[in-house]
Amino acid sequence: MRVDSHQHFWKYNASRDTWITSQMQVLKRDYLPEDLHPEMVAADVQFSVAVQADQSEIETSFLLALAEQHLFIAGVIGWVNLCSPDVSQRLQYFTRFNKLRGFRHVAQSEPDDQFLVRDDFVRGVSWLRHFDLTYDLLVYPKQLPSAVGLVDKLPDQRFVLDHLAKPLVKSRGLQTWASYIRRIAIHPNVFCKLSGLITESDWGGWSADDFRPYLDVVFEAFGADRLMFGSDWPVCLLTGTYGQVVRLISDYMEGRPEEDCHKVFGLNAARFYKLRVLAHGPAT
């Protein structure tokens, strides 16, 4: 069983999707399950987790509707206003949907690097545990200190760090990022997604060796029990294919125990998100 723990769907809207810049022309179109499914089949990936790209409850409902229509979408990570005074009611509403597994906020875009430790945000995230929901941490390296602070405050909440916190691969930035990765990995309730690496590289030309130092750090810090593969499709198409992203991690893990490969490519995501998947279920 293989699970892609991180991918997106959208119907492109230029006025809404302003994060898609003029340098990202390939992303300026609709990306839907029928586009992803052939890529997954070719890479022998059976299930995926669809993650929010827009900060709205409309986005959450859109992803949940797609998940109802397509069996291979095993889970949805949506968005609600976690700073809202009525956040508990909104969470209660969304938990009626079986494939809703957690929430995410695009904290990397917040101008305040301390956003994650604001009292109102911490309060909102603290409600997730009451509904057995996860939280995806989307941050840049400069925001890792506040991510550590949030995790410190909520030791019983399940967290996963998206995209290895986007290390500065292109400029070879490593040491400061690595020190915070080791700090946040001390917490057993924090997992990490092996995703989004190639888009932090030189889009004009990268090699697998560019990513090895960063993968070495997270494998040492988290171990094979708390890492999960994610494609970050279709964002990965800015500089690579779905198959290349899969091969990047599978080639890196070559020679490691087969059990570790099963964990990273599916079992850990299923365990963390509590996905209702079959061991050999079809991607349909």
| Mean pLDDT of the chain, nearest integer | 96
Percentage of the chain lying above the pLDDT 90 cut: 95
What tens digit of pLDDT does each residue of 155-172 get?
999 999 999 999 999 998
Global confidence as pTM = 0.96
What tens digit of pLDDT does each residue of 13-29 get?
999 999 999 999 999 99
Q: What is the DSSP letter of 212?
A: H
d(CA 125, CA 154): 8
> What is the phi/psi pair of residue 233, to 5°?
-70, 140
Q: In CATH, which superfamily holds the domain spanning 3-11+29-273?
A: Metal-dependent hydrolases (3.20.20.140)
Task: For Cα atoms 132, 233, 109, give the angle at the middle one, nearest 5 degrees.
Answer: 70
- Residue ranges covered by each domain of the chain: 3-11+29-273
Q: What is the DSSP letter of 50?
A: E
What tens digit of pLDDT does each residue of 256-284 get?
999 999 999 999 999 999 999 865 454 44
What is the rounded average pLDDT of the residues 106-119?
97
Helices (H), the chain: 33-42, 57-69, 87-94, 119-126, 144-153, 175-185, 212-222, 242-252, 258-262, 268-273
DSSP track, 78-118:
E---TTSTTHHHHHHHHTTSTTEEEEEE-GGG-S-TTGGG-
- Look at residue 15 in the predicted model and tell me its pLDDT: 97
- Look at residue 173 in the predicted model and tell me its pLDDT: 85
- Look at residue 284 in the predicted model and tell me its pLDDT: 44
What tens digit of pLDDT does each residue of 22-81 get?
999 999 999 999 999 999 999 999 999 999 999 999 999 999 999 999 999 999 999 999
- Look at residue 278 in the predicted model and tell me its pLDDT: 65
What tens digit of pLDDT does each residue of 195-233 get?
999 999 999 889 999 999 999 999 999 999 999 999 999
CA torsion sign, 228 to 20 to 38 to 241?
negative
- Look at residue 139 in the predicted model and tell me its pLDDT: 98
Beta partners for residue 137, in sequence order:
105, 161
